Amino acid sequence: MMNESITFTIDGVEVRAQPGQTILQAADAAGLYIPRLCAHEDLKPHGSCRICTVMVNGRPQAACTQPVAAGLVVENDTAELREHRKILIEMLFVEGNHYCMFCEKSGNCELQALGYRFGITAPRFPYLWPERNVDASHPDIFIDRNRCVLCGRCVRASRDVDGKCVFEFVGRGPNKRVAVNAEERLADTQLDIADKAADVCPVGAILKKRVGYAVPVGQRRYDHAPIGTDIEKTRMETQSDRGRG
């Protein structure tokens, strides 16, 4: 039958998935957290950050783009993968200027939250201190490229959801950055405060003006529970229900 579920394992746990799902989607539904940064439930998978890399039948794959298949053996929580992800996260910190204690996104920042989850107190790599511009010309939104991690969420959201293509990558290697579809300024684009592209940034690179501290520090999403806790809660609730049954 076309709608039959697919069975595979993640770290020895049997997972049932639907045809067409990615490993990341199936893991979320099963309450198994796979760390990620570029992935977003409302956007097409991109596979750029590689933090969601898992071992599939012994080979590395991006969980956000790899489709499920019957009998797959997926490794997610291993010492090698934890170290791989930790290195990637540390590199993102040193490749930009992330002053968490002064950033409006602190407590809601997914990069910061991943740093906490992986126990990163200080990166092992030297800081690069890049010089990148801040564009505050737009009346409602500003972009601070010092904090950009090149996840591409804003690019995909503007293109695929908003239908505006306000953002796009330009340059290569260390010169790669997010540009706007205007001569120079964000204010000269069609970006609107209600656009999906204005909401999906995982860090403090794209922020709405005048709402930065509406939720006090200490009451924000990751202030009390680690990132991924909401997904893992699904599995704990399922196990509790089975225990009562």
- Find the mean pLDDT for residues 168-183: 93
Domain assignment present for residue 155? The answer is yes
* Residue 227, in any domain of the structure: no
Residue 55: the pLDDT is 98
Cα–Cα dist 160/31, whole Å: 28
What pLDDT is recorded for position 164? 97
Residues 128-153: pLDDT tens digits? 998 899 999 999 999 999 999 999 99
Whole-angstrom Cα distance, residue 75 to residue 129?
Answer: 35
Whether 204 shows a pLDDT value over 70: the answer reads yes
The per-residue pLDDT for 95 is 94
CB of 145 within 8 A of CB of 131?
A: no
Does 239 score more than 80 pLDDT? no
CATH number at residue 187: 3.30.70.20
Q: What is the mean pLDDT of the chain?
A: 94
The answer, yes or no, to whether residue 245 has pLDDT greater than 60, is: no
Task: Summarize the confidence of residues 72-85 as an average pLDDT.
Answer: 98
Residue 143 lies in a domain: yes
Give pLDDT, residue 131.
87
The total of structural domains in the chain comes to 1
Instruction: Report how far residue 60's alpha carbon sits from residue 81's, in angstroms, rounded to the nearest whole number.
Output: 10
180 in any annotated domain: yes
Helix, strand, or coil (residue 25):
helix
Q: Distance between terminal CA atoms of the chain? A: 30
Question: Does 147 map to a domain?
Answer: yes
**pLDDT for res 235:** 84
Name the pLDDT band for 174 (thresholds 50, 70, 90): confident
> Residue 1: its pLDDT value, please?
43
Instruction: Give the tens place of pLDDT for each residue, 15-69.
Output: 999 999 999 999 999 999 999 999 999 999 999 999 999 999 999 999 999 999 9
Residues 196/42, Cβ–Cβ less than 8 Å: yes
Q: Confirm whether 135 is domain-assigned.
A: yes
Helix (H) or strand (E) holding 16: strand 13-17
Place of tokens 């990620």: 36
Range of the structural domain that residue 109 is part of: 84-208
Of 141, 149, 147, give the one whose Cα is nearest residue 211.
141
Q: Is residue 10 part of a domain?
A: no
Residue 170 lies in a domain: yes
